Amino acid sequence: MATKKESRVKVNKTYKLFINGAFPRSESGRVFEVSSQNGSFVANPALASRKDLRDAVVAARSAQSNWSKATAYNRGQILYRIAEMLEGRAGQFESEIVLTSQVTPSRAKAIVSEAIDRWVWYAGWTDKLQAVSGATNPVAGPFFNFTISEPQGVVAIAASVNFIEFIDAIAAAIVSGNTSVVLVPGGLAVPAMSFAEVLATSDLPAGVINILTGSLDELAPWAASHMDIDGFDISGISKKMHPALKEAGAENLKRIHAFGPEKTPSRILAFMESKTVWHSVGV
């Protein structure tokens, strides 16, 4: 008697958050459903709460000092390693993007290639920012005067559902030594969590990038008002929400910016501060 060949049951992934280098569930226990184009079930990513956001900010803050003290070379090495890991998993990202957004497989391939190349572009900035944005200033007196650029601290990011912009925003924030808390809406949650897995295997110190999947409407206002967040990239949020976020952010003079799709070092410099030092010169 011929036995019918069994079709293999796949081991589906559970989706959690990425905080401090680990993958906890949301403290709220909530999830939201992501479906594919044709309405079939894809995943139940965690629906992050404001307490998850609070925890992520604590993790980002405690990682920030060491991340900024790492040499630019070291940060560049780690970021390039992330690109190597991304490249190895390009196929996975492509199929997840096809599954969760309205693009064709060939378009998804182009998106993933561009995203990886963008990440590499940013990785190459770590040790060049000072040459481009710093200066020595010829003040009118016997002083050695120089200006350097430093990271601001913890940067929140409200990611757009576009994978390339998601990558851009994160890279731009952390290249200089900031750490980040990334708010990820909708179907982007699926490739975003694969991205978290890449981060976990790339020697990136815990807490440098934290990823919270969920609702921007719910989380963004909490990020905007959080007094221990220094910068907020709101490119992924609809313009009508911007005024409220900026008003809330005014309480600690948060540096709030929205960017277009081009890659530019201005995106990096927007989350940096300049420091100018004077030193007397004499025997």
Q: Is residue 51 part of the contact set for another protein (CB under 8 A)? A: no
- Which of helix, strand or coil describes residue 105? helix
Which of 175/234 has CB closer to another protein? 175
Which of 196/268 has CB closer to another protein? 268
For residue 135, the Cα-to-chain-centroid distance in whole angstroms is 28
Among residues 21, 25, 70, 80, the one that binds another protein under rule CB under 8 A = 80
Among residues 15, 43, 76, 255, the one that binds another protein under rule CB under 8 A = 76
Stretch touching another protein by CB under 8 A, among 2-10, 68-76, 155-163, 238-246: 68-76
Nearest alpha carbon to residue 189 among 34, 25, 9: 34
Gap between the Cα atoms of 31 and 219, Å rounded: 14
Q: Is residue 227 part of the contact set for another protein (CB under 8 A)? A: no
Span 1-40, contacts to another protein by CB under 8 A: none
Q: Is residue 93 part of the contact set for another protein (CB under 8 A)? A: no
Q: Is residue 72 part of the contact set for another protein (CB under 8 A)? A: yes
What type of residue sits at position 168? D
Which of 32/146 has CB closer to another protein? 146
Stretch touching another protein by CB under 8 A, among 39-47, 58-66, 69-77, 248-256: 69-77
Dihedral sign for Cα atoms in the order 236, 179, 109, 33? negative
Output the smallest distance, CB 57 to another protein, in A: 27
Among residues 58, 121, 206, 258, the one that binds another protein under rule CB under 8 A = 121
Gap between the Cα atoms of 252 and 228, Å rounded: 8
| Count of residues engaged in binding another protein, rule: CB under 8 A | 25
Tokens 């980040």 -> residue: 180
Strands 255-257 and 154-158: unpaired
Gap between the Cα atoms of 19 and 58, Å rounded: 10
Which of 29/142 has CB closer to another protein? 142
Beta bridge partners of 145: 278
Gap between the Cα atoms of 273 and 117, Å rounded: 27
Q: Is residue 147 part of the contact set for another protein (CB under 8 A)? A: no
Q: Is residue 281 part of the contact set for another protein (CB under 8 A)? A: yes
Q: Is 61 exposed, middle or buried (0-12, 13-18, 19+ CB in 10 A)?
A: middle
Span 248-277, contacts to another protein by CB under 8 A: 265
Q: Is residue 135 part of the contact set for another protein (CB under 8 A)? A: no
Q: Which residues 6+ apart lie within 8 Å of 32 measured at CB?
A: 44, 45, 47, 214, 215
Q: Residue 126 is encoded by which pair of tokens?
A: 């770590």
Output the smallest distance, CB 204 to another protein, in A: 17
Q: Is residue 283 part of the contact set for another protein (CB under 8 A)? A: yes
Output the smallest distance, CB 126 to another protein, in A: 8
Q: Is residue 279 part of the contact set for another protein (CB under 8 A)? A: yes
Among residues 58, 103, 120, 200, the one that binds another protein under rule CB under 8 A = 120
| Residue 249 contacts residue 220 (beta carbons within 8 Å) | no
Give 35's Cβ-side CA count (13 Å radius): 5
Interface residues with another protein (CB under 8 A)? 72-73, 76-77, 80, 84, 117, 120-121, 123-128, 130-132, 144, 265, 279-283
